[in-house]
Amino acid sequence: MNSLSDSLTVAQVAQSQGVCTKTVRKWCLMEEDPLPSYKVGNVRRVRQEALLTWIQKREQGGTV
C-alpha cells in the first residue's frame, strides 16, 4: 500500500513535468482519461505511481 509520502501536490507534479499548476489541474479534471488524483481538504494530490502510469500511457500513444 502506498504511503502518504508517495503523494505529490499539484505544484510538485507541475514542477516535475515543467508545466504550470493550472495545467496539472486541467489534467486531473479532463473528461477523457484524467490524471488520477484525490483531494484532502482543498489540496489535490496525485500518487507518484499513478503519475508514472499516466505518463507511460501517453508515451505509448494514449490521449492527452
pLDDT digits (tens, 9 = 90+) for 12-26: 999 999 999 999 999
Residues 6 or more apart whose Cβ sits within 8 Å of residue 44: 9, 10, 25, 28, 37, 38
Radius of gyration for the alpha carbons in the chain, expressed in angstroms and rounded: 11
CB distance 23 to 64 below 8 Å: no
Q: From 47, 55, 39, 42, select the one nearest 8 (Cα to Cα).
A: 47
CB distance 29 to 46 below 8 Å: no
pLDDT digits (tens, 9 = 90+) for 1-59: 455 579 999 999 999 999 999 999 999 999 999 999 999 999 999 999 999 999 999 88
**What pTM did the predictor assign?**
0.83
